[in-house]
Amino acid sequence: MIPFLAQVEAPEYNMWNAKPGTPQLWMAIAIAMVVGFAIMVAMLYAPTRMRKPIASAAIFLAGLFWVLVFLFPQPIDTQVKVEQRPPGFVQGISFWLADAIPVVGTFANILTAFILGLGVFSLVRIHLLRVTKKQRDWPFSVVLLVSIVAMAFFGYADWYSRLGPNAQKIEESWPLTAYGKDLLFDGMLQVMEAAMFSLIAFFILSAAYRAFRIRSVEATILLAAAMIAMLSLMGAVVVGWDGWIEQVTNKDPFLTNFTLSSVSGFIRDNLQTPGIRAIDFGIGLGALAMGLRLWLSLERAGAN
Amino acid sequence: MANTGVWDKLQTVDRRILYLLLIVFATVSLFFKVTVPTKPGEPVKDFYRSVMDIPEGKTVILQSDFTQSTRGESSGQMEALLRILMRKNVKFALLSVADPQAPLVALNVIRAINQERKAKGERTYVAWEDFVNLGYFPNAEGTANSMASNLTTAMAGRRENAPGKGPTDVFQSPVLQGIRAVQDVPAYINVTGSKTSNILIERLGKKVPFLAMVTGVMGPETLNYYASGQVKGVVIGLNGVAEIETLMDKGLKAENGHPAVAGFEGQINLGRGTGYYLALHACLTLMILAIVIGNVAMVVTRRKK
């Protein structure tokens, strides 16, 4: 196992990689798919009482790897060649873990990519059903399906046309596939996404107007801090206020503490940042506890 | 009971009126070409110093994790950054982990800056020679861990179009020549609209000087890492874009033991940040006015009752 994972040099030909476009690579992909499919089928047909221990074992091994990476002594230089590495059990394990991280990272990338694929599959399945059964608002599902197919087609066609040695010329000739991708991606999707996100500004304004009321001492403090934060984002106000303070006080060391940038900086450095840090510590501890429960399969909701 | 009609109404202004006012304030202000003054903060100054310290011809890793949802802030940040990198002939390896759209969005910004340079008769940045697109990596944590451990293996199999050759291993490109570990690059820059900067800092922060360009929402959280020294400089939101564009235009005076840093005199420095800055002022003014009016109306109504 160790030699398979030892990839100090950029890999070319080994069990985990092959030259792009070669029959070896396609064969490896086919074998991996068959093996993966076989494991999936085996899991489907495994007795119900066996599924949980198998899943728990896989989760434990995956978690154990990262626990070891975090806790085990790390090599100072992972770029050293295999034959020049120091001998010894601890060093051996340490280098093995370091070498395995990119391989495990690639697995993680592949698994996450499958989640994206799963999302697309699920979306297509639900909306195809809605269209075939003519359920409520089915025309919107047609729009979604047509959009998915059109975007995928022009996206892949444009990507494929840029793979050859003449890819640079596409910038000059701009073929139909490039136009199609531009229209759909830049002309529609991107603009709609920007428009959707900008709607938040309307809700923020409406919510700020209704919520920021000085009904209590705490609310007054919050409002004052928010006002200072908002004013400090306005360069013209900061330049004007700070300039006026410096002029009136003749740059007195104490009184210049009342410039807008100093006051907002004080709030940011002494109130906001430590507050967020405390929240982050709390979140971290919670994530650690949840991680332990998942790693040791103690989280019943996820296991069942 | 006292007559509180007007003040009552000012407490409960219809949201549609507020929406209309926001549309008017935001759009009208975009038509005015006014350069609003700004006073760059320390995080932006440190960012500018760090980017200007990158030696000419070196390669940085540029992780672009934004899409058009944060265009108002992130596009301006990316444009300002690319203008600096291209003027200093700094090569970059581009990658994304946050969203499958992110690499295309970043390439569009590169194309726009290239067109700007072409119009001025300057050299444009060419894929393979000046930058490589490493593409999209779906798992942020796994990718950051892999890069921290072994950059060549983490990026194995990634290809870019070499002129006359077609897709070729990115490590054969002039951009990644001699780079085998993340420690070999002088800076790792993340332009992001989400918390990918945190994921990177936690895994790569000790290995490479890290710089971040984040949205206003992510700013306060990122400042934690700036305060601890794990991030060398931060540009936050649209305000940060206006600030870095000002620094590019006017340079940075020597202060607090730091030497002076020159700007880019006579070049296009004021871009999207300065262009949108008046709109930001107008919208914030509207919000402050709305809050003040709501509170004054509430106090007056209470007193009258």
CB contact under 8 A, B38 and A164: no
Looking at residue A15, its pLDDT comes to 60
Indicate whether this model's pTM tops 0.90.
no
pLDDT band at B278 (very low <50, low <70, confident <90, very high): very high
Looking at residue B107, its pLDDT comes to 92
pLDDT higher for B1 or B225? B225
Q: Cβ distance B231 to B42 under 8 Å?
A: no
CB contact under 8 A, B181 and A265: no
Most B CBs within 10 A among A205, A228, A271, hence the mutation to make, goes to A205
- Tell me what ipTM this predicted complex has: 0.86
Minimum distance, in Å, between the CA of residue B181 and any CA atom of chain A? 8
Q: What whole-number distance in Å separates Cα of residue B39 and Cα of residue B42?
A: 10
**Phi-psi group of A273: left, alpha or beta (phi > 0 → left; psi -120 to 50 → alpha; rest → beta):** alpha
pLDDT higher for B50 or A107? B50
Looking at residue A84, its pLDDT comes to 77
Q: How many CB pairs under 8 A join A and B?
A: 208
Q: What whole-number distance in Å separates Cα of residue A295 and Cα of residue A67?
A: 10
Q: Which helix (H) or strand (E) holds B250?
A: helix B237-250
Q: Average pLDDT for residues B66-81, to the nearest whole number?
A: 92
CB contact under 8 A, A202 and B36: no
Q: Average pLDDT for residues B23-28, to the nearest whole number?
A: 95
pLDDT higher for A2 or A43? A43
Looking at residue B268, its pLDDT comes to 87
Looking at residue A12, its pLDDT comes to 47
pLDDT tens-digit profile of A44-103? 888 888 888 888 999 999 999 999 998 998 887 777 777 777 888 888 888 888 888 888
Which chain A residue has its CA at the smallest distance from B152's CA? Answer: A10
Q: What whole-number distance in Å separates Cα of residue B236 and Cα of residue B36?
A: 18
CA dist list (Å): B69 to A110, A124, B74, B96, B116 = 26, 24, 9, 15, 24
Return the closest-CA partner of residue B218 out of B205, B204, B203, B201: B201
Give B286's contacts in chain A (Cβ within 8 Å): 205
pLDDT tens-digit profile of B127-140? 999 999 999 999 99
Q: What whole-number distance in Å separates Cα of residue A34 and Cα of residue A41?
A: 10
pLDDT tens-digit profile of B289-300? 999 999 999 999
Place of tokens 């779906």: B138
pLDDT band at A172 (very low <50, low <70, confident <90, very high): low
Cβ atoms < 10 Å from Cβ of B128 = 20
Q: Average pLDDT for residues A224-237, to the nearest whole number?
A: 93
- What value, to the nearest 5°, has the Cα angle with vertex B114 and ends A182 and B73? 70
Q: What percent of chain A has pLDDT over 70?
A: 89
Q: What percent of chain B has pLDDT over 70?
A: 99
Asked if the model's pLDDT at residue A303 lies above 50, the reply is no
Looking at residue B168, its pLDDT comes to 86
CB within 8 Å of A20: residues ≥ 6 apart = B157, B159, B167
- Report the mean per-residue pLDDT for chain A: 86
Which chain B residue has its CA at the smallest distance from A25's CA? Answer: B157
- Report the mean per-residue pLDDT for chain B: 92
Looking at residue A77, its pLDDT comes to 75
Which chain A residue has its CA at the smallest distance from B171's CA? Answer: A10
Asked if the model's pLDDT at residue A169 lies above 70, the reply is no
Place of tokens 């949802």: B69
**Phi-psi group of A145: left, alpha or beta (phi > 0 → left; psi -120 to 50 → alpha; rest → beta):** alpha
Looking at residue B4, its pLDDT comes to 63
Looking at residue A170, its pLDDT comes to 64
pLDDT band at A10 (very low <50, low <70, confident <90, very high): very low
Looking at residue B3, its pLDDT comes to 60
Instruction: Name the pairing type of β-strands B166-169 and B210-214.
Output: unpaired
Q: Average pLDDT for residues B147-160, to the nearest whole number?
A: 86
CB within 8 Å of A106: residues ≥ 6 apart = B142, B146, B154
Q: What whole-number distance in Å separates Cα of residue A102 and Cα of residue A69?
A: 12
pLDDT tens-digit profile of A281-292? 999 999 999 999
Question: In the 8-state DSSP scheme, what is residue B214?
Answer: E
pLDDT tens-digit profile of B84-101? 999 999 999 999 999 888
Looking at residue A166, its pLDDT comes to 63
Q: Average pLDDT for residues B4-18, to the nearest whole number?
A: 88
A234 touches chain B (CB under 8 A): yes
